[in-house]
């Protein structure tokens, strides 16, 4: 990032942004007062990011739970419009995100732009699913008796997400959009190494129509925070995308205590082509029986 | 309606049968109807009429633990002359206070035609013995209240003990003979519109002059769908029994725009017979200044600001 | 105290800038008709001429079909599905942005109350584009196989009762599935379709993907019989629908969907929520002046509550506000055309002649324009013509029944089968009735509800094919 500019002979010093957490629609620093230095691909200093504590994680889960009732009760049409609005705002800040992705991931200009374009289109793809997933995964069931019986998908609740480490924007969008489009709320731990595009994305979420608390973004050490999310008894599902090896196994074991729905890490080909799986992972199926008679 | 014209015996079981035999209320449909009426556009001459009518229907209210004689005197001054800058502004219908301050209000509004309403019956929760409630009512009337706003026993209602609720209202009716009895249903605690319709009928059968939505101490207080259902109830009750009962939404009505929506609801649900302070009241405090501000806007053609209207 | 007389609250016309004349929209451009013929569109509320509209002849239809074919082959079919979807999202947004202008124009040209065009027609039209935009790149999930293909060029003919909404029902799924279209709006209501052509331009939609040809029945027939189209979609009368089915009988390659007339039963049981049922009855038959193919034009009331329901209904009709369609407080607007008004008058006269009792609330009709008061017929039996024929106006026929089985029998005793309504607090009765009613849509404790995700269409002579939802995609896919 260019930090100075020359105008009329005198160098102008750029005003830098403070990167903070995003919890319940607000941008707090970590309650712990800690931060950590984030560097670019070559080890150069980019910014200090907040180093979230277990208490920040706790607050984020509380914010996500509080937002769940309203977001899950919003009409599917409304949720679709909201996700599409995120895409619109992201498109308007395309250059800013391309620059951040370049710094974060060491990509060239063109590939960085392609990543941003893909992230925008990813929002559009999921926006379209809001009012269709029930039509694809719901069913009227021809039970043998005088009953009307139907099954509908419903969001599972609060989803904790360990975002992928390498794909700071597209990967981040690819894990949160499928969770929230169906009505879940999320607490997402951004890429430890490259958290800045995720923090900037939270600014987009805050100024789009996403209600406060639907997406909560933490930055910090995966090994420190993820276990608190995995063991949290008021979290309904966890995506271990950004964890690996023994840590992922430990998190999955901790998640078993309240039978969280667990999405295990896998190869990141899904980043290229999204499917239904990440939406289905956070959906329950509800079946209703009703008699039909006079 | 034939289902409603059968006079219910007041024995407990048949009261229950009667209330449960009332036609149901479909919440979605009732809310859609209220929302449609809320979209009516009231302009120019109609708006002028509505603003003045709304002012004349206000029960100007203060019901706080921190109320003092001074506060009540200020409220009464406002009730008598809402807009010192404009003597054409109508006065309000009543002032509404706690029983121990009713005598202050009565002295202040004497001879003005403004009524003194006192809440009673252990307002707002109603959680005490019938004896204490009746004493509360007599105390308020003795202090000069000519309108009594009582609360029903919501616990008994929700437990299905309709006869107990009925008997209590009837006892208060007897104790308050000669005064105007408003029965507060506290619809925010009854929750369903079916309950609102049943409680409305119960109160009317027990002798209410008015049915009132809320104490103002519970959220939600007055809403358009709840008021719609209560208006339908007074309409059907008059058709069945020939007696007209008034309706008072109270709590949460702060903007002139909202007050006008209530008048539209009255106009298109029960008609002009109820468009009168004798049959429709609005329990409010800060609403009055917004009505005055809109009134000034219409008279001067420019927007005013809160600094130009008196507090209290 | 006096009473609350609503002052006039007209929506401003200044948001609409009407041109004196409009051409056809072919290949992305407005163009005059080849032979220069034109017709006038008027406001049915005042008979004021609004604009002159080009009338497309066979040569114009041919040009439009060619443009659509070229767009299909050269651009649209080859476009990535995702990008196709993004065009539809753009259109949805522009419809939202120009919503008020479209609403005013719709009310001017059609005569419907601004409250309805503002709160129903235009938002639903936008929602239709939004919903189908999302399908464009998800068709493999729709249940029609792994790679469903479009049909090609669709010829679409729509009615005058919901001009822009019917356009959206036709164009949105067609484009989402990868087809290009030639659409003919009704001759009495072409204006919003022509503004929609401008919206396509604003959205940079590739030329020829959407073509609008204006005209009357001859133009429509030239379009549906044109050998260059792969798909016919028609909404309108059963009579014309049958003619289209005959015309296409010799062209088996053409896929045809028809959404035609109806004579819906709105069935009120004794345990119904009465106040809401009355609202539903009113909405069922007086919404859009009864110009609704799925209107609840036959009210079936259980005999035990007949007098209560009728008294409540009459009282409610007395509060309906008929008049200027642009007034925000109008509930019932103008009849769309002189011809339609004549038909409503004729069938109402037949109803009286056949012995049914006619009633309307006191209601002053404007002098100019085409108007008909909200009307009830009681004492109607299954044998009366007003119980069998579609009136397509604000006229309700009231019949009675005693048991659920009798209600089903009477409701189904019609050649139509588009919709039905059931009013009861008993859930199992709703489902029992629904399973026996021969109608494509059954509304329970509500009526005239539409949503882009909900399939709509009829049984029997109400047509075939569905519009909306996952099921509606079938009409525009080669499956």
Contact C428 A291 (CB under 8 A): yes
Residue range C102-128: mean pLDDT, rounded: 98
Residue range C456-464: mean pLDDT, rounded: 98
Contact C469 A77 (CB under 8 A): no
Which DSSP string do the residues of C34-96 spell out, in sequence order? Answer: TT--EEEEE-TTT--EEEEEE---HHHHHHHHHHHHHHIIIIITTS-HHHHHHHHHHHHHHHH
Q: How far is C118 from chain A (nearest CA, A)?
A: 18
Cβ-Cβ pairs closer than 8 A, A with C, add up to: 68
Q: Select the residue from C124, C130, C172 to test the A interface by mutation, using most A Cβ atoms within 10 A.
A: C130
Which DSSP string do the residues of chain B spell out, in sequence order? Answer: -HHHHSPPP-SHHHHHHHHHHSPP--HHHHHHHHHHHHT----HHHHHHHHHHHHHTEEEE---TT--HHHHHHHHHHHH-S-TT-TTSPP-SEEEE-GGGHHHHHHHHTTTT-EEEEE-SSTTT--S-HHHHHHHHHHHHHTT-SEEEEE--HHHHHTT-HHHHHHHHHHHHHHTTTSEEEEE--HHHH-SHHHHHHHHHHHHHTT-SEEE---SSSSS-S-HHHHHHHHHHHHHHHHHHS---EEE-BSS--SHHHHHHHHHHHHHHT-GGG-STTTB-EEESTHHHHHHHHHHHHHHSS---GGGS---
From the candidates C259, C461, C467, C474, which is the catalytic residue? C259
pLDDT of residue B12: 58
- Which residues of B are identified as catalytic? 149, 212, 248
Token pair belonging to C34: 């080849």
Residue B240: its chain C contacts at CB < 8 A? none
Q: Is the pLDDT of residue C449 over 70?
A: yes
Residue B3: its chain C contacts at CB < 8 A? 308
Is C294 part of the annotated catalytic residue set? no
Contact C89 A131 (CB under 8 A): no
Contact C279 B32 (CB under 8 A): yes
pLDDT of residue C448: 97
Collapsing DSSP states into helix, strand and coil, what is residue C433?
Answer: helix
The ipTM estimated for the assembled molecules is 0.95
Q: How far is C442 from chain A (nearest CA, A)?
A: 14
Q: Is the pLDDT of residue B1 over 80?
A: no
Q: Is the pLDDT of residue B2 over 90?
A: no
- Per residue in A3-25, pLDDT tens? 656 656 679 999 999 999 999 99
Q: How confident is the model at residue A273 (pLDDT cuts 50, 70, 90)?
A: confident
The span from the CA of C379 to the CA of A190, in Å, is 71
**Residue A151, Cβ neighbours under 10 Å: how many?**
14
C428 interface with A at CB cutoff 8 Å: yes
Q: How confident is the model at residue B311 (pLDDT cuts 50, 70, 90)?
A: confident
pLDDT of residue C326: 98
C303 interface with B at CB cutoff 8 Å: no
The span from the CA of B41 to the CA of C111, in Å, is 19
Q: Is the pLDDT of residue B202 over 50?
A: yes
Residue range C164-190: mean pLDDT, rounded: 98
- Per residue in A37-59, pLDDT tens? 999 988 999 999 999 999 999 99
Residues of B with CB under 8 A from a CB of C: 1-3, 23-26, 28-30, 32-33, 39-47, 49-50, 53, 232, 263-264, 267-268, 272, 275-277
Contact C446 B44 (CB under 8 A): no
Q: Phi and psi of A188, rounded to 5°? A: -120, 130
Contact C425 B24 (CB under 8 A): yes
User: In whole angstroms, how far apart are CA A227 and each of A57, A58, A195, A247, B255?
Assistant: 10, 12, 19, 9, 50
The residues that bridge with C422 in the sheet, in sequence order, are: C267, C444
Q: Is the pLDDT of residue A2 over 80?
A: no
Contact C4 B46 (CB under 8 A): yes
- Per residue in A166-225, pLDDT tens? 999 999 999 999 999 999 999 999 999 999 999 999 999 999 999 999 999 999 999 999
Task: Give the helix/strand (H/E) hosting C404.
Answer: helix C404-412
Q: Phi and psi of C277, rounded to 5°? A: -65, -40
- Per residue in C359-401, pLDDT tens? 999 999 999 999 999 999 999 999 999 999 999 999 999 999 9
Collapsing DSSP states into helix, strand and coil, what is residue A286?
Answer: strand
Residue range C436-448: mean pLDDT, rounded: 98
Q: How far is A62 from chain C (nearest CA, A)?
A: 32
Of C6, C119, C272, the CB nearest to B42: C6
Residue range C414-431: mean pLDDT, rounded: 98
Q: Is the pLDDT of residue B144 over 80?
A: yes
Residue range C137-161: mean pLDDT, rounded: 97
Q: How far is B195 from chain C (nearest CA, A)?
A: 14
A123 interface with C at CB cutoff 8 Å: no
pLDDT of residue B7: 47
Interface of C with A in 315-344 (CB under 8 A): none
pLDDT of residue C62: 98
The span from the CA of C203 to the CA of C195, in Å, is 12
Q: How confident is the model at residue B8 (pLDDT cuts 50, 70, 90)?
A: very low
Q: Is the pLDDT of residue B40 over 90?
A: yes
Interface of C with B in 439-468 (CB under 8 A): 445-446
Task: List chains touching A (3+ CB pairs under 8 A).
Answer: C
Interface of A with C in 60-79 (CB under 8 A): 76-77
Q: Which residues contact A269 (CB under 8 A, 6 or more apart)?
A: none
Collapsing DSSP states into helix, strand and coil, what is residue A78?
Answer: helix
For residue B161, give the nearest of B202, B214, B103 by alpha carbon: B202
Task: Give the helix/strand (H/E) hosting A185.
Answer: strand A185-189
Chains C and B touch (3+ CB pairs under 8 A): yes
Q: How confident is the model at residue B310 (pLDDT cuts 50, 70, 90)?
A: confident
Q: Is the pLDDT of residue B10 over 80?
A: no
Q: Among A8-17, A92-101, A267-276, C188-197, where is mean pLDDT lowest?
A: A267-276
C2 interface with B at CB cutoff 8 Å: yes
pLDDT of residue A265: 79
Chains A and C touch (3+ CB pairs under 8 A): yes
For residue C388, give the nearest of C238, C264, C241, C259 by alpha carbon: C264
pLDDT of residue A271: 73
Q: How confident is the model at residue A269 (pLDDT cuts 50, 70, 90)?
A: low
The span from the CA of C77 to the CA of C80, in Å, is 8
Q: How confident is the model at residue C22 (pLDDT cuts 50, 70, 90)?
A: very high
Contact B24 C329 (CB under 8 A): no
Q: How far is A294 from chain C (nearest CA, A)?
A: 5
Percent of chain B with pLDDT over 90: 95
> In the predicted model, what is the mean pLDDT of chain C?
97
**pTM tops 0.90, yes or no:** yes
> In the predicted model, what is the mean pLDDT of chain A?
95
Contact A132 C89 (CB under 8 A): no
Contact B3 C272 (CB under 8 A): no
Contact C311 B1 (CB under 8 A): yes
- Per residue in C276-331, pLDDT tens? 999 999 999 999 999 999 999 999 999 999 999 999 999 999 999 999 999 999 99
- Per residue in C217-272, pLDDT tens? 999 999 999 999 999 999 999 999 999 999 999 999 999 999 999 999 999 999 99
The span from the CA of C419 to the CA of C456, in Å, is 9
Residue C7: its chain B contacts at CB < 8 A? 42-47
Nearest C-alpha in A relative to C431: A292
Cβ-Cβ pairs closer than 8 A, B with C, add up to: 84
- Per residue in B209-266, pLDDT tens? 999 999 999 999 999 999 999 999 999 999 999 999 999 999 999 999 999 999 999 9
- Per residue in C59-78, pLDDT tens? 999 999 999 999 999 999 99
- Per residue in C87-99, pLDDT tens? 999 999 999 999 9
- Pairing relationship of beta strands C395-401 and B94-97 according to DSSP bridges: unpaired
Q: How confident is the model at residue C435 (pLDDT cuts 50, 70, 90)?
A: very high
Contact B3 C276 (CB under 8 A): no
Is the bond preceding residue B124 a cis peptide, omega within 30 degrees? yes
- Per residue in A111-128, pLDDT tens? 999 999 999 999 999 999
Q: Select the residue from C88, C134, C271, C422 to test the A interface by mutation, using most A Cβ atoms within 10 A.
A: C134
């Amino acid at each position: 990032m260019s930090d100075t500019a020359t105008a009329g002979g005198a160098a102008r010093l750029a005003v830098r942004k403070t990167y903070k957490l995003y919890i319940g629609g607000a941008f707090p620093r970590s309650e712990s007062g800690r931060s950590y230095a984030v560097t670019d691909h070559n080890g150069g200093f980019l910014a200090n990011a907040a180093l979230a504590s277990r208490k920040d994680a706790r607050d984020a889960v509380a914010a996500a739970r509080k937002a769940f009732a309203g977001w899950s009760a919003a009409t599917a049409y409304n949720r679709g419009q909201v996700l599409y609005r995120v895409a619109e705002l992201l498109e308007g800040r395309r250059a800013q995100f391309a620059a951040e992705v370049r710094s974060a991931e060491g990509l060239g200009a063109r590939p960085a732009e392609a990543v941003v374009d893909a992230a925008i289109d990813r929002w559009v793809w999921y926006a379209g699913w809001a009012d269709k997933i029930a039509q694809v995964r719901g069913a009227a069931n021809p039970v043998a008796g005088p009953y009307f019986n139907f099954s509908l998908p419903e969001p599972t609740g609060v989803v904790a997400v360990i975002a992928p480490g390498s794909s700071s924007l597209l990967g981040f969008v690819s894990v949160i959009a499928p969770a929230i489009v169906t009505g879940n709320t999320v607490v997402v731990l951004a890429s430890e190494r490259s958290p800045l595009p995720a923090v900037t994305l939270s600014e987009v979420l805050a100024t789009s129509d996403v209600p406060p608390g639907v997406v909560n973004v933490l930055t910090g050490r995966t090994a420190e925070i993820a276990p608190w999310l995995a063991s949290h008894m008021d979290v309904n599902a966890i995506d271990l995308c950004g964890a690996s090896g023994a840590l992922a196994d430990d998190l999955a074991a901790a998640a078993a205590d309240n039978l969280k729905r667990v999405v295990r890490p896998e190869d990141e080909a899904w980043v290229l082509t999204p499917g239904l799986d990440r939406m289905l992972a956070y959906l329950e199926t509800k079946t209703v029986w009703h008699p039909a008679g006079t | 309606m034939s289902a409603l014209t059968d006079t219910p015996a007041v024995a407990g079981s048949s009261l229950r049968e009667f209330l449960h035999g009332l036609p149901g209320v479909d919440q979605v449909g009732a809310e859609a109807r209220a929302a449609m009426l809320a979209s009516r556009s009231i302009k120019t001459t109609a708006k002028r009429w509505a603003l003045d009518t709304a002012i004349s229907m206000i029960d100007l209210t203060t019901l706080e633990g921190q109320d003092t004689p001074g506060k009540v005197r200020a409220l009464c001054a406002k009730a008598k002359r809402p807009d010192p800058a404009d003597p054409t502004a109508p006065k309000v219908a009543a002032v509404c206070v706690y029983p121990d301050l009713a005598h202050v209000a009565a002295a202040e509004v004497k001879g003005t035609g403004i009524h003194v309403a006192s809440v009673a019956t252990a307002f707002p929760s109603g959680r005490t013995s019938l004896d204490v409630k009746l004493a509360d009512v007599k105390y308020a009337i003795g202090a000069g209240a000519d309108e009594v706003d009582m609360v029903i026993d919501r616990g008994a209602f929700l437990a299905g003990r309709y006869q107990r609720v009925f008997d209590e209202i009837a006892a208060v009716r007897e104790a308050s003979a000669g005064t105007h009895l408003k029965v507060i249903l506290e619809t925010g605690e009854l929750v369903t519109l079916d309950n609102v319709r049943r409680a409305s009928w119960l109160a009317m059968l027990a002798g209410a002059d008015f049915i009132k939505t809320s104490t103002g101490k519970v959220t939600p207080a007055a809403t358009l769908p709840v008021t719609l259902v209560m208006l339908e109830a007074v309409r059907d009750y008059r058709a069945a029994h020939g007696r007209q009962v008034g309706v008072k939404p109270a709590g949460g009505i702060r903007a002139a725009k909202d007050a006008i929506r209530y008048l539209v609801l009255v106009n298109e649900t029960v008609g002009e017979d109820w468009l009168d302070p004798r049959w429709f009241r609005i329990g409010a405090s800060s609403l009055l200044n917004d009505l005055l501000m809109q009134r000034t806007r219409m008279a001067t053609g420019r927007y005013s600001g809160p600094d130009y209207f008196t507090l209290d | 105290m006096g009473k609350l007389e609503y002052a006039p609250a007209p929506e401003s016309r200044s948001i609409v800038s009407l041109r004196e004349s409009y051409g056809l929209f072919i290949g992305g451009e407005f163009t005059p008709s080849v032979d220069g013929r034109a017709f006038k569109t008027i406001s049915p509320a005042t008979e004021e001429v609004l604009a002159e509209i080009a009338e497309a002849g066979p040569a114009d239809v041919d040009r439009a079909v060619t443009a659509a074919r070229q767009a299909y082959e050269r651009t649209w079919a080859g476009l990535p599905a995702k990008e196709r979807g993004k065009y539809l999202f753009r259109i949805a947004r522009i419809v939202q942005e120009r919503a008020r202008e479209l609403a005013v124009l719709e009310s001017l040209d059609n005569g419907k109350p601004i409250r309805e065009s503002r709160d129903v027609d235009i938002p639903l039209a936008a929602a239709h584009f939004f919903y189908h935009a999302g399908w464009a790149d998800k068709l493999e999930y729709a249940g029609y196989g792994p790679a469903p293909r479009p049909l090609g060029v669709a010829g679409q003919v729509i009615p005058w009762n919901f001009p822009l909404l019917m356009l959206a029902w036709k164009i949105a799924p067609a484009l989402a599935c990868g087809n290009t279209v030639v659409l003919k709006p009704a001759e009495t209501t072409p204006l919003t379709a022509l503004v929609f052509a401008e919206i396509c331009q604003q959205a940079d939609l590739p030329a020829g993907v959407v073509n609008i040809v204006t005209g009357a029945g001859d133009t429509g027939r030239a379009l549906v019989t044109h050998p260059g189209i792969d798909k016919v979609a028609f909404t309108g009368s059963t009579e014309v629908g049958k003619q289209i089915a005959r015309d296409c009988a010799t062209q088996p390659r053409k896929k045809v969907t028809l959404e035609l007339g109806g004579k819906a039963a709105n069935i009120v049981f004794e345990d119904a929520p009465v106040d809401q049922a009355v609202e539903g009855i009113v909405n069922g038959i007086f919404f859009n002046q009864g110009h609704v193919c799925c209107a609840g034009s036959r009210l079936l009331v259980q005999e035990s509550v007949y007098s209560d329901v009728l008294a409540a209904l009459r009282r409610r009709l007395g509060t309906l506000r008929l008049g200027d369609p642009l007034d925000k407080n109008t509930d019932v607007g103008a009849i769309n055309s002189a011809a339609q008004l004549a038909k409503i008058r004729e069938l109402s006269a037949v109803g009286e002649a056949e012995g049914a009792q006619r009633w309307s609330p006191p209601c002053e009709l404007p002098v100019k324009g085409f108007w008909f008061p909200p009307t009830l017929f009681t004492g109607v039996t299954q044998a009366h013509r007003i119980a069998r024929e579609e009136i397509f106006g604000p006229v309700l026929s009231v019949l009675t029944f005693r048991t659920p089985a009798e209600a089903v029998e009477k409701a189904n005793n019609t050649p139509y089968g588009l919709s039905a309504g059931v009013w009861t607090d008993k859930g199992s009765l709703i489902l029992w009735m629904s399973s026996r009613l021969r109608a494509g849509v059954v509304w329970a404790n509500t009526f005239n509800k539409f949503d882009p995700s909900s399939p709509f269409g009829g049984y029997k002579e109400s047509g075939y094919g569905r519009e909306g939802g996952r099921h509606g995609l079938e009409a525009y896919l080669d499956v």
